[in-house]
Amino acid sequence: MSDEIPEVVILRLPLYVRVLSQLESRGIEVASSQVLGDFLQISPALVRKDLHYFGRFGTQGQGYQVRQLKNELRQILGLDRTWTMALVGVGQLGTAILSYGGFQQQGFHIVAAFDADPARVGSRAGDLIIQDVRELQETVRSKGIAIGIVAVPAAAGQGVADALVASGIRGILNYAPFRVHVPPSVWVRDVDPVVVLQSITFHLKAVCGQRPVASLALT
């Protein structure tokens, strides 16, 4: 097992957990690397390589124990506990995030919400009272919040990220359409459906038979 696990492998681990949960709910006890690879749209060899980073889960020719592998991967990912989160920005997007049930179901609890707009501060959003963003640092520390969610316009994104980092937060889920700069000890992930769409269109453009990529090379 290597200490240097490529980030691309770590990004796939939650997908393994999801697929294994689906298989488990269908009563399937053992899954081959072929089956797992089909779900993740990667090769069986890559599945074996991915999982080998974390130990010898499978037995040659026998496949993986679905429930055991799921539980181990959940533990590796830190999903065997709950996580607290602070939301910054309670506009339209932030409100949708607060009302999204998927976080809580998976053990991610938004325990504080902040905004810079005095018109919003003090009003109720779900179970929370929206706080002034100037209280961010104190609240994050007193509640021991682990993860920050940035749901502010692009122009405010870096300032909010800086405030989260200053408050000691090490993980940021960034919805602002902006690449934020953080120290290497902080993990930022962007949630941006537009960026996702923009990597789909690369393929659609190609399949639609419009001018091939090769002709765009600058020589």
Q: Which of residues 106-135 bind a second copy (CB under 8 A)?
A: 106, 108
List 4, 26, 27, 56, residue binding a second copy (CB under 8 A): 56
List 11, 45, 129, 166, residue binding a second copy (CB under 8 A): 11
Q: What CA–CA distance (Å, rounded) separates 160 from 151? A: 9
50 forms part of the interface with a second copy (CB under 8 A): no
155 forms part of the interface with a second copy (CB under 8 A): no
43 forms part of the interface with a second copy (CB under 8 A): no
For a second copy, the closer of residues 99 and 119 by Cβ is 99
List 45, 77, 129, 166, residue binding a second copy (CB under 8 A): 77
Nearest approach, Cβ of 130 to a second copy (angstroms)? Answer: 18
Quick note: the x/- pattern for a second copy over 57-76, rule CB under 8 A, is x--------------x--xx
Q: What CA–CA distance (Å, rounded) separates 133 from 167? A: 12
147 forms part of the interface with a second copy (CB under 8 A): yes
Q: What CA–CA distance (Å, rounded) separates 45 from 93? A: 40
The residue written with tokens 């994104």 in the block is: 157
Helix ranges, 4-153 (H): 7-25, 33-40, 44-52, 66-76, 92-99, 102-105, 136-143
Helix (H, G, I), strand (E, B) or coil at 15: helix
Residues 177-206 that bind a second copy (CB under 8 A): 177-179, 181, 185, 187, 189, 191-205
For a second copy, the closer of residues 166 and 204 by Cβ is 204
27 forms part of the interface with a second copy (CB under 8 A): no
Nearest approach, Cβ of 106 to a second copy (angstroms)? Answer: 5
Nearest approach, Cβ of 139 to a second copy (angstroms)? Answer: 18
For a second copy, the closer of residues 147 and 163 by Cβ is 147
Q: What is the helix (H) or strand (E) element at residue 199, kind and residue range? A: helix 193-207
3-state helix, strand, coil in the chain (%, to 5): 45, 15, 35
CB 76 within 8 A of CB 54: yes
CB 124 within 8 A of CB 89: no
